[in-house]
Amino acid sequence: MTHFPEIDPWPRPLPARQNFTGTHVVLEPLHRRHGAELFESMRGAEQSFTYLAYGPFRDRAALDGFLAPASTDPLMAYWAIRPTATGRASGWLSLMNIEPNNAAIELGSIWFSPRLQRTRAATEAMFLLLRHAAEDLGYRRLVWKCNNRNEASKRAALRLGFTPEGVLRAHMVVKSQRRDTAIFSIIEDEWPSRRDAILGWLSPENFDTGGTSIRPLASFRG
């Protein structure tokens, strides 16, 4: 008979809506007060919503129609992303599909404005929530899912150290289209090395005077 190691079965707590402050970004619980800044940041960025279930938003009323339920959803928690370099809310992300009994949680529903994409603030924003889930709340399984056609999202998952687990075929219908879903994970034994790699990449020593990284994130994982 096979014996598997015992684990702590105690249900993990739900994430609280609280601020998180890093070096390059502040995460604030998503609220309607972010609406004006977010709407300004998405002007001309309609394509950035291609693989999301919502958006683009034609006007402030449409955006507010998203912000209202997103800011109060009891099953997922959203944060607005405020880079310290600009001081303006420029995107959002969430902890979702939360399974306290299984200690599994997903980082998802991520929208970055063009000004936020490929910045230290974007990487740090994701890192702050991953670290909170893994270390403060004790989740054993961190999940990333995306449309299998979304190559940028799949590259982001691999860059952060997520391991691909496969593709769920015909998983969802999004905007009247079939969505095959690529799924990735980081589990508890892997988290320390992923954490240290991201911290290494974010360190000031890894950036030149122009703000360009010297080494790619993957190189910090050895």
Percentage of the chain exceeding pLDDT 90: 93
What tokens appear for 218 in the block? 């993957």
What tokens appear for 217 in the block? 């994130």
Spatial contact of 49 and 55, defined as CB atoms under 8 Å apart: yes
Alpha-carbon distance of 27 to 92, in angstroms, equals: 9
The domain total for the chain is 1
Q: What is the CATH number of the domain that holds 215?
A: 3.40.630.30
Written in H, E and C, the secondary structure of the chain is CCCCCCCCCCCCCCCCCCCEECCCEEEEECCHHHHHHHHHHCCCCHHHHCCCCCCCCCCHHHHHHHHHHHCCCCCCEEEEEEECCCCCCCEEEEEEEEEHHHCEEEEEEEEECCCCCCCHHHHHHHHHHHHHHHHHCCCCEEEEEEECCCHHHHHHHHHHCCEEEEEEEEEEEECCEEEEEEEEEEECCCHHHHHHHHHHHHCHHHECCCCCECCCHHHHHC
What tokens appear for 23 in the block? 């070096």
Residues pairing with 112 in the sheet: 91
Q: Is the pLDDT of residue 222 over 90?
A: no
Q: Is the pLDDT of residue 215 over 90?
A: yes
Alpha-carbon distance of 81 to 90, in angstroms, equals: 6
Going by pLDDT thresholds of 50, 70 and 90, the confidence category of residue 75 is confident
Going by pLDDT thresholds of 50, 70 and 90, the confidence category of residue 13 is very high
Q: Is residue 13 part of a domain?
A: no
Summary mean pLDDT of the chain: 96
Q: What is the pLDDT of residues 77-136, one digit of tens each?
A: 999 999 999 999 999 999 999 999 999 999 999 999 999 999 999 999 999 999 999 999
Q: Is residue 9 part of a domain?
A: no
Work out whether the CA dihedral 93, 97, 98, 104 comes out positive or negative. negative
Spatial contact of 181 and 157, defined as CB atoms under 8 Å apart: no
pTM for this entry: 0.96
Place of tokens 């010297």: 214
Q: Is residue 30 part of a domain?
A: yes
Q: Whole-angstrom distance between the N-terminal and C-terminal Cα of the chain?
A: 37
Residue 124 lies in domain: 20-221
Q: Is residue 49 part of a domain?
A: yes
Alpha-carbon distance of 94 to 74, in angstroms, equals: 12
Q: Is residue 10 part of a domain?
A: no
